[in-house]
């Protein structure tokens, strides 16, 4: 990745602003409810941390880790839950916090897995929605940013475990 060009797509300031707006939206949607936020590791760790701090309502927080076997930047569609939640969600209002919805396969898988545990409601908040790349129909309920194509790193997102620490979201391209 060091040899690739990185251009800022969403600056830390733009992200901060958008996350505050999302926090308000989510808080309104869950007033007087028992919200359980489930962050999807590792990509959504920063987004989850910022989003819950932007909420004006209480919530409980848990995490899942999913492995989707990828060849380069393309998903194979084979997905596995490698770390499960520890908080029971039956009867609770659950908000899954994901970094990117791309083909939609990962969120479809997680949605089915969590629905089987009978939450009161289940919604998804995606930091980025790559709408044009869907292989299965999937609509996130809350979306931070929408982008067409391109591979991004930073703000928790990685290319082969590199770039997660970056405070801005950057698009990677081949030229130096």
**Residue 51 contact among Mg ion, ligand XMP, none, beta carbon within 5 to 8 Å by kind:** none
The bridge status of strand 121-129 relative to strand 169-173 is unpaired
The reply to whether 114 sits near ligand XMP by the rule CB under 6 A is no
Residue with smaller CB distance to ligand XMP, 48 or 75? 75
Q: Is 136 exposed, middle or buried (0-12, 13-18, 19+ CB in 10 A)?
A: exposed
Alpha-carbon span 16 to 51, nearest angstrom:
9
Query: Of 26, 46, 101, 124, which lies in the binding site for ligand XMP, with binding defined by CB under 6 A?
Result: 101
Task: Name the token pair of 44.
Answer: 């959504």
The reply to whether 111 sits near ligand XMP by the rule CB under 6 A is no
Residue with smaller CB distance to Mg ion, 44 or 89? 44
Query: Of 43, 144, 154, 163, which lies in the binding site for Mg ion, with binding defined by CB under 5 A?
Result: 43
Closest residue by Cα to residue 12 from 162, 172, 129, 170: 170
Give the footprint of ligand XMP on residues 70-89 (CB under 6 A).
75
The reply to whether 39 sits near ligand XMP by the rule CB under 6 A is no
Catalytic residue among 50, 102, 129, 168: 102
Active-site residue flag, 102: yes
**Residue 102 contact among ligand XMP, Mg ion, none, beta carbon within 5 to 8 Å by kind:** ligand XMP
**Residue 124 contact among Mg ion, ligand XMP, none, beta carbon within 5 to 8 Å by kind:** none
Alpha-carbon span 62 to 84, nearest angstrom:
9
Render 43-111 in DSSP notation, one character per residue.
Answer: TTHHHHHHHHHT-SS-EEEEEEEEEEEEETTEEEEEEEEEE--SS--TTSEEEEEEEEESSSHHHHHHH
- Residues lying near Mg ion in the complex (CB under 5 A): 43
């Amino acid at each position: 990745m060091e040899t690739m060009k990185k251009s800022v797509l969403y600056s830390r300031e733009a992200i901060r602003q958008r996350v505050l707006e999302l926090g308000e939206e989510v808080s309104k949607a869950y007033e007087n409810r028992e919200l359980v936020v489930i962050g999807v590791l590792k990509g959504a760790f920063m987004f989850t941390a910022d989003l819950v701090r932007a909420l004006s309502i209480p919530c409980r927080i848990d995490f899942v880790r999913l492995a989707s076997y990828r060849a380069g930047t393309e998903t194979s569609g084979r997905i596995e839950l490698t770390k499960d939640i520890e908080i029971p969600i039956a009867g609770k209002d659950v908000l899954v916090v994901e970094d990117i919805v791309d083909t939609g396969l990962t969120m479809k898988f997680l949605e089915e897995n969590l629905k089987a545990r009978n939450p009161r409601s289940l919604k998804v908040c995606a930091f980025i929605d790559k709408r044009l790349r869907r292989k299965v129909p999937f609509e996130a309920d809350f979306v931070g940013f929408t982008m067409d194509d391109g591979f991004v790193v930073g703000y928790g997102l990685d290319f082969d475990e590199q770039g997660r620490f970056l405070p801005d979201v950057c698009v990677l391209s081949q030229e130096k």
